[in-house]
Amino acid sequence: MIFIFLGPPGSGKGTQAALIAKNYGINTLSTGDVLRAKAAEDTEPGRQLRQIMQSGYLVPGQLVNQLVAEALSELGSKDIILDGYPRTIEQAHFLAQNVPFEQLVLYFDIQDDLLIKRLTGRFSCAHCKKIYNEHFAKLKHDNTCDICGSKEFVRREDDNPETVTNRLTQYRSETAALIKYYTEQNVLHHVDAEVSVDDIYAKVSKLVKNSLT
Ligand code: AP5
Look up the pTM and report it.
0.95
Q: Which residue has a Cα nearest atom 49 of ligand 1?
A: 12
Residue 203 Cα to ligand 1 midpoint, Å, equals: 19
10-residue averages of pLDDT along the chain (213 residues)? 97 96 95 94 96 97 94 87 98 94 96 92 95 94 95 96 96 97 97 97 97 84
The answer to whether the CB of 121 falls within 8 A of the CB of 133 is yes
- Closest-CA residue, ligand 1 atom 48, reads 12
Question: Are the beta carbons of 2 and 103 closer than 8 angstroms?
Answer: yes
- Look at residue 85 and give its three-state secondary structure: coil
Question: Which residue, judged by its Cα, is nearest atom 25 of ligand 1?
Answer: 56
Tell me the per-residue pLDDT of 119-150, one tens digit each, with 9 for 90 and over.
999 999 999 999 999 999 999 998 999 999 99
Q: Which of 145, 194, 202 is nearest to 19 (CA)?
A: 202
Q: Is the CB of 87 under 6 A from ligand 1?
A: yes
Question: Which atom of ligand 1 sits closest to the CA of residue 53?
Answer: 27
